[in-house]
Structure 1
Amino acid sequence: LSSGAKMGCFTFIKVMMILFNLAIFLSGGTLLGVGIWVKVDGQSFMDIFGTLSSSVLQVVNVSYVLIVIGAILLVIGFLGCYGAQRESKCLLMMFFSVVLIIFIAEVAVAVVALVYTTLAESLLSAVVTPVLKEQYGKDQTFTTIWNTTMTKVHCCGLNNYTDFNDSFWYKQHGSYPHQCCNFINSTEPCTVTLAAQKNVTGCFDQILEEIRTNAGVAGGVAAGIAALEIAAMAVSMYLYCRLDEK
């Protein structure tokens, strides 16, 4: 290719890099804003989007997830957009490094989830159960999310009713949440005897079933994200190398 054609190709890729990362930056800002909204006023968010939320999203603390993802996208978008605009090798290399680290982390998580399923389940249980014990009944938004999940999915806790043993809720009420006894409108307390008799399944099994049901969609989305990350790394490295020739 002639020098003019090479320069035109460089300019085109640079512009696409700027636009792509600008979109990422704006998306990150949006997610960050929504995450803060959920954290500050989670009830209004649930009122609007509650019926659209899946049980998977309801179990985790959505606000923190959105804030973290939004912040990461903001950083990536800024590095890619500003680095391409300023033709800064330092920022482009930082962009490449951040995306590479995220890509490696995603691959590692996928391998652990697929190969070491039992380990992944144990880790999730070890993380979520203590939070459930501490926050259920204390944090209004957290409690509402879990109540919605347990009512809609017909489950109790993450594993079963024993997740609420020695919990803030149990210490305050001396009983388990009514979902653990399949009570709907009853005012009867859900005692340990009734909970053991009903033996309502934990929400974790329901979540796993939902994940398995939508494994194809999740895999497709993951593959698409991985392809975008590889393309972003390739483009950033192309711009980085071409700057030496300018």
Structure 2
Amino acid sequence: MPAAVRKFRRETSEISCCLKYLLFASNVVLWLSALLVLSVGIWAWSEKDMFRNITRLHYIALDPAFVLIILGGVTFLLGFMGSVGALRENTCLLAAYAVFLSVLLIAEIGFFAVAFVLKDKGWIKNQATEGLKAFIRHYREDADQQNLIDWIQEDWLQCCGIDGPKDWDSNNYFNCSSIAIGSREACGVPFSCCRRRPHEQIKNKQCGYDVRKDGYPVDRNIHERGCLRAGEDWLEAHLFCVAIWCVALLVLQMDQILTFKSCRS
């Protein structure tokens, strides 16, 4: 048989039926999940009217709605290429899917490697500090960012500020000088900084008022530890779980690439 005919037959041969539907099913789940995330992100941005007032966004990389849009959009595209490409046996879509997934895998490995190398050089700490500073400065200006930092301080890390409650002085509402303009929150902290009292069902939203004023009682009933140190402590305590999660993510992506290669063999 001529070599050209053999080559043509290899190029037009169907992929394994089992692997085809395995690749299709896994990417449909990914695609639908991404569609949900993307829809939530777009809805959140539309509620804030950000599509017409993008100038209101001060720190776009930290906006939860924007992060959901980017994450959902990239994952949606990836799931679409994988599911439709596998179902239709479209070599162009499958090739694009494999290339896209490989680029993501390489980028993630590079990110983890850089994070490991720079973990003791202060770069990651500086980035986290700048992000928290932006959150604090614009706390009252974006509901999503406000809810996120409240969750970090109250539910996740049980902390307050970057290095401590004094960092809330950089917010116009909580700055002690705002007493002159009538801010009731002046020289205070958000309610998420307060420690929950025993048997307290509903937290008092005014529990952080005046806690940074001179002469306030020593027991302020707020978290005195900063979120930066609390985050470092959390990462050290859960380092093994974080490592397992990262490895599982990389293995899952490698498995998708190997499945694609098996389909084409």
Q: TM-score, normalised by structure 2?
A: 0.66
Task: Please tell me whether residue 98 in structure 1 is matched to residue 122 in structure 2.
Answer: no
Cα pair 1:113 1:120 within 8 Å, conserved: yes
> Given the alignment, which residue of 145, 164, 168 partners 2:168?
164
Q: Please report how far the alpha carbon of residue 37 of structure 1 lies from its aligned counterpart in structure 2 after TM superposition.
A: 5.5
Q: Whole-Å Cα distance in 2 between the matches of residues 178 and 30 of structure 1? A: 31
Task: Please tell me whether residue 215 in structure 1 is matched to residue 239 in structure 2.
Answer: yes
Specify the alignment match of 2:142 in structure 1: 139
Q: Please report how far the alpha carbon of residue 12 of structure 1 lies from its aligned counterpart in structure 2 after TM superposition.
A: 1.8
Task: Please tell me whether residue 87 in structure 1 is matched to residue 89 in structure 2.
Answer: yes
Q: Please report how far the alpha carbon of residue 80 of structure 1 lies from its aligned counterpart in structure 2 after TM superposition.
A: 0.7
Cα pair 1:178 1:189 within 8 Å, conserved: no
Specify the alignment match of 1:107 in structure 2: 109
Specify the alignment match of 1:55 in structure 2: none
Aligned alpha-carbon RMSD (Å)? 3.4
SS in 1 for 2:163: coil
Q: Deviations along 1:95-131, whole A, 9 cap, x unmatched?
A: 1121112112211221222221122121222233224
Amino acid of the residue matched to residue 68 of structure 1? I
Amino acid of the residue matched to residue 164 of structure 2? N
Q: Deviations along 1:9-44, whole A, 9 cap, x unmatched?
A: 7222112111111111112112223444566679xx
Cα pair 2:41 2:69 within 8 Å, conserved: yes
Amino acid of the residue matched to residue 225 of structure 1? L
Q: Whole-Å Cα distance in 1 between the matches of residues 193 and 245 of structure 2? A: 37
> Given the alignment, which residue of 33, 37, 56 partners 1:31?
37
Specify the alignment match of 1:190 in structure 2: 212
Specify the alignment match of 1:175 in structure 2: 187
Q: Whole-Å Cα distance in 1 between the matches of residues 215 and 194 of structure 2? A: 13
- Structure 1 residues 106, 98: CA separation in 2 closer, same or farther (over 3 Å shift)? same
Specify the alignment match of 1:65 in structure 2: 67
Specify the alignment match of 1:21 in structure 2: 27
Specify the alignment match of 1:229 in structure 2: 253
Bigger radius of gyration: 2
Amino acid of the residue matched to residue 230 of structure 2? Q
Amino acid of the residue matched to residue 86 of structure 1? R
SS in 2 for 1:21: helix
Q: TM-score, normalised by structure 1?
A: 0.71
Percent of aligned positions that are identical: 18
Specify the alignment match of 1:202 in structure 2: 226
Aligned length: 216
SS in 2 for 1:210: helix
Amino acid of the residue matched to residue 210 of structure 2? E
In structure 2, stretches of 5+ residues that fail to align are 1-8, 49-61, 196-203
- Structure 1 residues 180, 69: CA separation in 2 closer, same or farther (over 3 Å shift)? closer
- Structure 1 residues 159, 23: CA separation in 2 closer, same or farther (over 3 Å shift)? same
SS in 1 for 2:108: helix
Q: Whole-Å Cα distance in 1 between the matches of residues 163 and 110 of structure 2? A: 25
Q: Deviations along 1:160-187, whole A, 9 cap, x unmatched?
A: 3454344333465443415699687364
Q: Whole-Å Cα distance in 2 between the matches of residues 69 and 158 of structure 1? A: 27
Cα pair 2:136 2:170 within 8 Å, conserved: no
**When you count helix as a share of all residues, which structure comes out higher?**
1
Cα pair 1:136 1:168 within 8 Å, conserved: no
Task: Please tell me whether residue 128 in structure 1 is matched to residue 119 in structure 2.
Answer: no
Q: Whole-Å Cα distance in 1 between the matches of residues 162 and 208 of structure 2? A: 23
- Structure 1 residues 86, 166: CA separation in 2 closer, same or farther (over 3 Å shift)? same
68-77 vs 27-36, which deviates more?
27-36
